[in-house]
Structure 1
């Protein structure tokens, strides 16, 4: 191994930390990175994750000790959203660069803390917006920049989470605004970032609706968790942890230390995030967008269409559905007054998020050329969170929200 490897600490050993930024990162980029520490408040979960990653590095339970003893150059943050800021700021102040899972954080004050620490430290924050790196997203961005549909005027963007993926957010810590900022922040941060990137503008005004229609108190019955639940035999959302060796090892025994179970009831009465969301967004360049997110669909994927002064781009990306999935995405380019349609096929790439995960890691760790500005820093992370915060505020208040009025992000 060469000396150019960057020493990094992994903070947070849930699914994403253990796989994407642990096992997978070392498998594909070991010549560029050297794991020197694992940090998690649950030491048993950290031990299980360390074994899965295939490492023997020290385990720590707090960020201060991790930074002081392991002395990493890079910290990768995969904890729950609401405490990202504490870890990011500590890492920056210790002279480390940071990669954080999305969303970057969950409030305006926390955004400002991170941005101020980044400025005073001179270090860098990368936000893991891997959807920017998917081959189809890259092609759509190319077409928009080329002027294929003239001046962009509006976007239709609708995201569908199925009854497996969508329900998972309501089993876990994400189900509370205090932890995740709601799915307007946690999940939609991906989508709002794509919109900000596609439009090359900031969100200006948001008008949104968000309701809890399927999970939480809307459910027909409720318990504490799936394991041992009296309703297991007739609940559509029953999760058998014993049937999933990975999740069972990472969460079941470790739950005895901190009480966090991976199969919490999706019908818990105290769930306070919406599961059915829409938002209308106006951008500083005049582009307007109609957006929706639904979390209990029989399909998974999204539909996006770009409307311009000279035509339209349209794409439906399939992820899961009860019919055969193609091995490519198809973008429809329809030009005004030209007649006909150009069908642009984009093959799926290997790896997570249609290849986006690998392409993003190559850019961060191998210095691949960033032609279209895909690599996302703290400002991109901030603006996607601000969009989500504005949407949540609008949905709660029934009023349109000006993003700038939420506060200064630094």
Structure 2
């Protein structure tokens, strides 16, 4: 990867080895042991092997080893794991606020590092990671899977091909339903010092898509946000759902005891670190925003209006690109637009359990050209696995690293930094009540065109 985090994508051969890749995983929560754990073990046995697992919670660590079906050693000390196992690749799936620690240590140990999104939670940590990549010369990969879905790729293709001309503005609305949205407020993600708010943890996905679609980088952000639904706004609260006396009257009551995987991974290991997976969505310590809206000015002149809702009756999103020659409208899972009634709780369960479904479905988008009739385009897609993005990302990394990447799906350090800086700038904008320049946050200066 080029110096200073300036590379747009990975090199042709991501790891340059003629043997199995030696992989370690730090952070054995549900995302780590499933998407970056068991799935890799099952799908890529000829390409890689896990040589170590690490977590500060020894109970969760042992359960993760069993769930992943691996025989590698386990370590409570991440540094000890690096020293003893000598991995080629470190996969980081710890709490967002600590990503920089394991990432920098991995680079310093001479390893390539793949970090779950988001890259990190603030500009200081982002700069430290940039400095480390420059100093140690190893590769940093960010696990942006949404880019790889066929539906997202079709949007990229239309824009790249100039179907609507130069894009001048974007309207992007994301809706988390009362199951998925609430789940963030039950977990450590509800605390600013752990996840940096949903501006970072969740919206980094969306901001990365915007940056990728527009092939440009953000220049300035102005935002609003507030906590008005969860946290202290509740009429009652408890320590967690299991022990709560308000189970019958709380719409957000979640019975974790019906989820054996969550019980074995989290509840059985609470004594080690005190982490409670079914925390109350109304607990007073919650300090992140639950409604968010931002205006993003890009270096190429485009303007994006973005909003995130965390307590919607349905889960989905929609976007519209306005160009000099036309307009693209796209959406997924908006019930009334398909005359469909999706089971919202099941949608969330599939997301959390990393259910993979390769059944092909077709999702529409609309292409308008000035002075012409609109075209309804049906895009072959998949219901689970982030619309097929999960599988395609993994295949590119571990099975087909030299395959062509004409749409620039692969994400490196600069992509990770630019996606989180929009969220960081949004937080700073809310705090100071004014716009924030992206170029003031790190030593990366926004580029008008990435290609």
Q: TM-score range by the shorter chain?
A: over 0.9
Shift of 1:328: 2.2
Partner of 1:348: 381
Once residues 373 and 289 of structure 1 are traced to their aligned partners in structure 2, the CA distance between those partners, rounded to angstroms, is 21
Partner of 1:335: 369
Unaligned runs of 5+ in 2: 1-16, 343-359, 446-451
Shift of 1:109: 1.5
Partner of 1:408: 443
Aligned CA-pair RMSD? 1.6
Once residues 320 and 181 of structure 1 are traced to their aligned partners in structure 2, the CA distance between those partners, rounded to angstroms, is 31
Aligned residues: 408
Partner of 2:303: 288
Residues 380 and 60 (structure 1 numbering): CA distance in 2 closer, same or farther, change over 3 Å? same
SS in 2 for 1:277: strand
SS in 2 for 1:285: coil
Partner of 1:93: 108
Shift of 1:407: 3.4
Shift of 1:405: 1.9
1:63 touches 1:90 (CA, 8 Å); kept in 2? no
1:108 touches 1:409 (CA, 8 Å); kept in 2? no
Unaligned runs of 5+ in 1: none
Once residues 228 and 269 of structure 1 are traced to their aligned partners in structure 2, the CA distance between those partners, rounded to angstroms, is 17
1:264 to 267, 279, 298: 279
Once residues 222 and 171 of structure 1 are traced to their aligned partners in structure 2, the CA distance between those partners, rounded to angstroms, is 12
SS in 1 for 2:216: coil
Match status 1:395 vs 2:395: no
Partner of 2:241: 226
Residues 284 and 14 (structure 1 numbering): CA distance in 2 closer, same or farther, change over 3 Å? same
How does the TM-score come out when normalised to structure 2? Answer: 0.88
Shift of 1:174: 0.7
Shift of 1:389: 0.4
Shift of 1:350: 6.6
Once residues 320 and 35 of structure 1 are traced to their aligned partners in structure 2, the CA distance between those partners, rounded to angstroms, is 41
Residues 401 and 238 (structure 1 numbering): CA distance in 2 closer, same or farther, change over 3 Å? same
Partner of 1:305: 320
Provide, for residues 192-220 of structure 1, a one-character-per-residue CA deviation record: whole Å limited to 9, x for no partner.
11111111111111111111121001111
Once residues 288 and 405 of structure 1 are traced to their aligned partners in structure 2, the CA distance between those partners, rounded to angstroms, is 19
Partner of 2:397: 364
Once residues 319 and 341 of structure 1 are traced to their aligned partners in structure 2, the CA distance between those partners, rounded to angstroms, is 20
1:111 touches 1:409 (CA, 8 Å); kept in 2? no
Shift of 1:324: 4.1
Partner of 2:26: 11
SS in 2 for 1:348: strand
1:315 touches 1:329 (CA, 8 Å); kept in 2? no
